[in-house]
Amino acid sequence: MLDKHLIRRSSLVVIIALIAAVAFLPASSYAASGTIDVSTSLNVRAEPSNNAVVIGKLQGGQAVEIEEIRHDWGKIDYYGQEGYISMVFVSGVQDSASAAPNVQQTAVQSNAATEGYVQVATSLNVRTAPNMSAAVTESLYNGEAVSIVSIQDNWAQVEHDGNTGYVSMDYITTSENEASYSLSPLKGKTIVIDAGHGGKDSGAIGDYFYEKSAVLSIALKAQEQLENLGANVIMTRDDDAFVALETRAAMSNAAHASMFVSIHLNASSEEYVNGTEVYYYPDGDTSVQLASTVQENLISQLGSVDRGTQAADFSVLRNTQAPAILAEIGYITNSAEAANLLTDSYQQKAATGIVKGLETYYQ
């Protein structure tokens, strides 16, 4: 039998313990919270895949804390075991900062970053400080993934490509699905990305690599970015295959493509020559405008020498019904530019320059 004092004392101990637990609960223990939105139960899996082993179930209506969200899979702590649930069946997802506004400061020290996605019509500026007058360090395109380090006063400190900066939370969503409801003018457009050369045709030959390899890497990155924006991308090649010039144009014509973008590297007998230029087929204003918006965006992304746009009678441009351009990203024969062209980050910037150029054209 328990006496009243003992009951009171034990209740008090529980209350103190709860207060202590709440006060000292690290904000990093979860990144987001939500509710299981299924009528029966939702499988918890060992890996973020529908084919992974089911380690347990969560009931519909149950609240859940998500440690990390990646590609529609939420990582959770399932009775001390790492588990994954499909975020498609989780509703009312809130990140930990907005769910628990009093612990935002703590969240700054948290290393449990939430994945966020840029949701913006054109591009989103990353700034050095959390205010609109701070300097812009880079810009992100729609659908691009960032790691949210912390959120305060509607500004997120984000990490992207190893750099940290601040973006307005107005343009960040934590749902990849939502981000794919793109506001991009390229959504639904059919765009041909033509990686120059391939197979037996190596293109220009640099000291360390062939033109055909670097342009394929850039083309694949452009494809990914465009598909993130909801564009329908046709690749004239997506591996080291030889494709005839006539075939490339025919692929574009058969698909009734809206735009054709050929990606190449330049070469010169003079080592010092470097920079970026875009060619267009002189068949009207469309290709000229497209060439200039892509050129401008390539220059702003790459910081390379602006060699301007020029008309050219290239086979792929002449035989393509869609507005067609050919971008010479840089010179494989210039050692500094060639070194840049080999890096993943420079290739990504080239892809971004092309994609933003296409978007700008439609705005």
Window of 61-69, 87-95, 190-198, 240-248 that interacts with Zn ion by CB under 5 A: 190-198
Per CB under 5 A, 196 contacts Zn ion: yes
DSSP state of 61: T
Q: Closest distance between Zn ion and the C-beta of residue 201, in Å? A: 9
Of 45 and 264, which CB lies nearer to Zn ion in the complex structure? 264
**Nearest residue to Zn ion, by Cβ distance, number only:** 264
Q: To which residue do tokens 């058969």 refer?
A: 254
Q: Which helix (H) or strand (E) holds 54?
A: strand 54-59
Residue 166 DSSP SS3: strand
Q: Closest distance between Zn ion and the C-beta of residue 284, in Å? A: 24
Q: Return the residues of window 288-317 that contact Zn ion according to CB under 5 A.
A: none
Q: Closest distance between Zn ion and the C-beta of residue 32, in Å? A: 46
Query: Based on the number of CB atoms within 10 Å of its own CB, is 102 exposed (0-12), middle (13-18) or buried (19 or more)?
Result: exposed
Q: Return the residues of window 314-343 that contact Zn ion according to CB under 5 A.
A: none
Window of 9-17, 90-98, 201-209, 343-351 that interacts with Zn ion by CB under 5 A: 201-209
Q: To which residue do tokens 């987001």 refer?
A: 32
Of 75 and 264, which CB lies nearer to Zn ion in the complex structure? 264
CA-to-CA distance for 348 and 85, rounded, in angstroms? 31
Please count the residues of this chain forming the interface with Zn ion, following the rule CB under 5 A. 3
Of 146 and 329, which CB lies nearer to Zn ion in the complex structure? 329
Q: To which residue do tokens 């519909």 refer?
A: 60
Query: Based on the number of CB atoms within 10 Å of its own CB, is 305 exposed (0-12), middle (13-18) or buried (19 or more)?
Result: middle
Of 143 and 196, which CB lies nearer to Zn ion in the complex structure? 196
Q: Closest distance between Zn ion and the C-beta of residue 324, in Å? A: 15
Per CB under 5 A, 198 contacts Zn ion: no
Q: Closest distance between Zn ion and the C-beta of residue 263, in Å? A: 9
Q: 253-269 burial by CB neighbour count: b if 16+ within 10 A, else e? A: eeeebbbbbbbbbbbee
| Residue ranges with strand state E in 109-211 | 114-118, 123-127, 136-141, 145-152, 155-160, 163-168, 172-173, 190-195
Per CB under 5 A, 264 contacts Zn ion: yes
Q: Closest distance between Zn ion and the C-beta of residue 289, in Å? A: 23
Window of 35-43, 199-207, 221-229, 337-345 that interacts with Zn ion by CB under 5 A: 199-207
Bridge partner list, 117: 145, 173
Of 155 and 281, which CB lies nearer to Zn ion in the complex structure? 281
Indicate if the alpha-carbon torsion angle 185, 177, 227, 139 is positive or negative.
Answer: positive
Residues with catalytic roles: 328
Chain CA centroid to CA 116, Å? 10
Per CB under 5 A, 203 contacts Zn ion: yes
Tokens matching residue 272: 């010092």
Cβ atoms of 303 and 267 closer than 8 Å: no
Query: Based on the number of CB atoms within 10 Å of its own CB, is 87 exposed (0-12), middle (13-18) or buried (19 or more)?
Result: buried
Per CB under 5 A, 248 contacts Zn ion: no
Window of 8-16, 111-119, 161-169, 194-202 that interacts with Zn ion by CB under 5 A: 194-202
Window of 74-82, 171-179, 196-204, 303-311 that interacts with Zn ion by CB under 5 A: 196-204
Q: Closest distance between Zn ion and the C-beta of residue 317, in Å? A: 13
Of 331 and 346, which CB lies nearer to Zn ion in the complex structure? 331
Question: Residues for the chain: how many in total?
Answer: 363
Of 58 and 222, which CB lies nearer to Zn ion in the complex structure? 222
Interface residue list for Zn ion (CB under 5 A): 196, 203, 264
